[in-house]
């Protein structure tokens, strides 16, 4: 029996939306075999696999529409329109306006660009608040502003469950705070932060809120209007699209702050924040990816051919919400099974939320250590058996240092996304149990 993405009771009637088997068929990479084992991709937090339609859209662009922008001939005009439609598809994805969507190489590059631009207006007496839970891409770009005399503060974490200490965070926001930069979810331990509250705390003090949604994007719906954040950055290859980044910025900020840019580049918003020639084929792939996601939760999925021209903005946004409900329900099932199994493994320590009643506060991303085995050794053994995981700090260096694991290999990270199955969860649990017996 194929495992199915469950419909949630409040929104849908009985039955399954799209079965996991059907979903998996759309991802050619999932058929890979390594050393005779079917590959279980638990490396989603480092980058997810892509559905076939994404690659088809990229091929189609390169074969039939390849050109640079803004010239008076068909392939160039088609390129302009492919970029415009990706911008509006991403606006639906984030619940933003198209003028608020900036394309870039990745979240890190976009964040450095934005911190430099914001930093032009900052100096001694200004403060920026960061957290010990964040990926370094939401830390170092802001720490660079120390050169301008800006003071950096850090919000503490609760080590017992790797959650942010919100009281500490609130106590460090004051009238000098200009930016609060925080992750939506931790790429290391899976914690989902209460970003809506953090945005409100920042705004109450007159500060801006910059959200790193890279880890959250494959797991939950993002609504920048509801969050009211000033900026939010993602990397599209973490949610089933090709390797690129996207930044949301409130229109007034994208118009008011000044990017460092070449003179010939337009001053139009948002294009003034896009430097040089973009990765057009990836942009074509991103549209196909959002359409793939929107199709997942449909009662009667359309064929998997490109559907963006058929789908209106409202319809796409509603379909995405439904898809994410189904994704979250499936991921909760996997997380429950995983947490139940991890507690049975001798010498294993989980870092992060383990309470089954708090699954809404975590993504299915698990950081573990097993006594007597380095994370690298564990990842290598699992890899030999076709189970792909990561080891180390995954650039969440403040966290690994704070938890005292940086000096001895960090964690083993096992991350699930919606194409993973309960059978795969059982496989990794069995392998970890076997390794733990070896002492």
Ligand X SMILES: Cc1ncc(COP(=O)(O)O)c(C=O)c1O
Q: Using alpha carbons, select from 238, 317, 247 the residue that is nearest to residue 43.
A: 238
The CB-of-211 to ligand X minimum distance in angstroms stands at: 10
The CB-of-16 to ligand X minimum distance in angstroms stands at: 30
Q: Under the criterion CB under 6 A, does residue 135 sit at the interface with ligand X?
A: yes
Nearer residue to ligand X within complex by CB, 221 or 297: 221
Touching ligand X, residues 36-55 (CB under 6 A):
45
* Distances, alpha carbon 111 to alpha carbons 74, 131, 408, 431, in Å: 34, 16, 30, 38
* Distances, alpha carbon 418 to alpha carbons 19, 39, 161, in Å: 11, 15, 24
Residue with tokens 């997380």: 335
Pick the piece of the chain touching ligand X (CB under 6 A) from 57-65, 106-114, 297-305, 330-338.
106-114
Q: Under the criterion CB under 6 A, does residue 432 sit at the interface with ligand X?
A: no
Residue with tokens 């139009």: 268
Nearer residue to ligand X within complex by CB, 212 or 291: 212
β pairing state of 37-38 and 33-34: antiparallel
Q: Under the criterion CB under 6 A, does residue 107 sit at the interface with ligand X?
A: yes
β pairing state of 37-38 and 151-155: unpaired
Pick the piece of the chain touching ligand X (CB under 6 A) from 86-94, 102-110, 174-182, 345-353.
102-110
Selected from 23, 89, 130, 137, the binder of ligand X by CB under 6 A is 137
Determine the Cα–Cα distance for residues 247 and 100; give it in Å rounded to an integer.
8
Selected from 51, 119, 183, 285, the binder of ligand X by CB under 6 A is 183
Pick the piece of the chain touching ligand X (CB under 6 A) from 24-32, 104-112, 161-169, 199-207.
104-112
State the number of CA atoms in the 13 A half-sphere of 211 facing the CB: 30
The CB-of-212 to ligand X minimum distance in angstroms stands at: 5
Size of the site for ligand X (CB under 6 A): 13
Determine the Cα–Cα distance for residues 100 and 98; give it in Å rounded to an integer.
5
Selected from 48, 177, 187, 398, the binder of ligand X by CB under 6 A is 187
Touching ligand X, residues 220-279 (CB under 6 A):
235, 245
The CB-of-138 to ligand X minimum distance in angstroms stands at: 6
Query: Which burial class, exposed, middle or buried, applies to 81 when counting CB atoms under 10 A from its CB (0-12, 13-18, 19+)?
Result: exposed
Nearer residue to ligand X within complex by CB, 182 or 293: 182
Binding mask 196-215 for ligand X (x = CB under 6 A): ----------------x-xx
Pick the piece of the chain touching ligand X (CB under 6 A) from 103-111, 172-180, 294-302, 341-349.
103-111
The CB-of-169 to ligand X minimum distance in angstroms stands at: 18
- For residue 410, the 8-state DSSP code is B
The CB-of-92 to ligand X minimum distance in angstroms stands at: 22
Beta strands in 256-311 (DSSP E): none
Q: Under the criterion CB under 6 A, does residue 323 sit at the interface with ligand X?
A: no
Is the separation of the CB atoms in 136 and 181 below 8 Å? no
Q: Under the criterion CB under 6 A, does residue 108 sit at the interface with ligand X?
A: yes
Pick the piece of the chain touching ligand X (CB under 6 A) from 17-25, 67-75, 105-113, 429-437.
105-113
- Angle (CA) 171-396-45 rounded to 5° is 120
Q: Using alpha carbons, select from 134, 238, 130 the residue that is nearest to residue 183.
A: 134
Number of H helices, E strands in the chain: 14, 19
Residues that bind ligand X (CB under 6 A): 45, 106-108, 135, 137, 183, 187, 212, 214-215, 235, 245
């Amino acid at each position: 029996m194929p495992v199915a993405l469950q419909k949630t009771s409040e929104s849908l009637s009985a039955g399954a939306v799209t079965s996991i088997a059907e979903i998996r068929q759309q991802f050619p990479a999932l058929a890979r075999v390594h050393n005779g084992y079917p590959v279980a991709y638990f490396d989603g937090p480092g980058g997810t696999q892509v559905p076939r339609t994404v690659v088809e859209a990229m091929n189609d662009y390169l074969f039939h529409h390849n050109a640079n922008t803004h010239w008076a001939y068909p392939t160039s005009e088609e390129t302009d329109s492919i970029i415009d439609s990706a911008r509006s598809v991403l606006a639906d994805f984030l619940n933003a306006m198209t003028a608020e969507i900036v394309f870039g190489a990745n979240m890190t590059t976009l964040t450095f660009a934005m911190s430099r631009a914001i930093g032009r207006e900052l100096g001694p007496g200004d403060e920026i608040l960061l957290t010990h839970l964040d990926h370094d891409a939401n830390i170092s770009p802001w720490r660079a502003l120390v050169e301008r005399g800006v003071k950096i503060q850090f919000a503490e974490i609760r080590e017992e469950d790797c959650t942010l200490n919100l009281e500490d965070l609130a106590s460090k926001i004051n009238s000098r705070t200009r930016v609060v930069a925080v992750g939506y979810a931790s790429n290391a331990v899976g914690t989902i932060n209460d970003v809506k509250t953090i945005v409100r705390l920042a705004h109450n003090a007159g500060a801006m809120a910059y959200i790193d949604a890279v880890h959250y994007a494959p797991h939950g719906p993002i609504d920048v209007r509801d969050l009211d954040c000033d900026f939010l950055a993602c990397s599209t290859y973490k949610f089933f699209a090709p390797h690129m980044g996207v930044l949301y910025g409130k229109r007034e900020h994208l118009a008011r702050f000044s990017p460092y840019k070449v003179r010939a580049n337009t001053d139009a918003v948002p294009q003034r924040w896009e430097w040089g020639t973009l990765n057009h084929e990836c942009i074509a792939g991103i549209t196909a990816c959002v359409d793939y996601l929107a199709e997942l939760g449909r009662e009667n999925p359309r064929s998997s051919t490109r559907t963006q021209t058929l789908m209106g903005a409202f319809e796409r946004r509603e379909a995405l919400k439904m898809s994410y409900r189904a994704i979250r329900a499936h991921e909760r099932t996997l997380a429950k099974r995983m947490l139940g199994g991890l507690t049975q493994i001798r010498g294993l320590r989980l870092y992060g939320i383990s309470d089954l009643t708090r699954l809404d506060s975590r993504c299915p991303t698990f950081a573990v250590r097993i006594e007597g085995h380095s994370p690298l050794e564990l990842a290598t053994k699992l890899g030999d058996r076709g189970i792909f995981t990561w080891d180390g700090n995954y650039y969440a260096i403040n966290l690994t240092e704070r938890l005292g694991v940086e000096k001895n290999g960090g964690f083993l990270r096992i991350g699930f996304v919606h194409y993973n199955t309960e059978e795969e969860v059982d496989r990794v649990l069995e392998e970890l149990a076997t390794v733990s017996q070896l002492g």
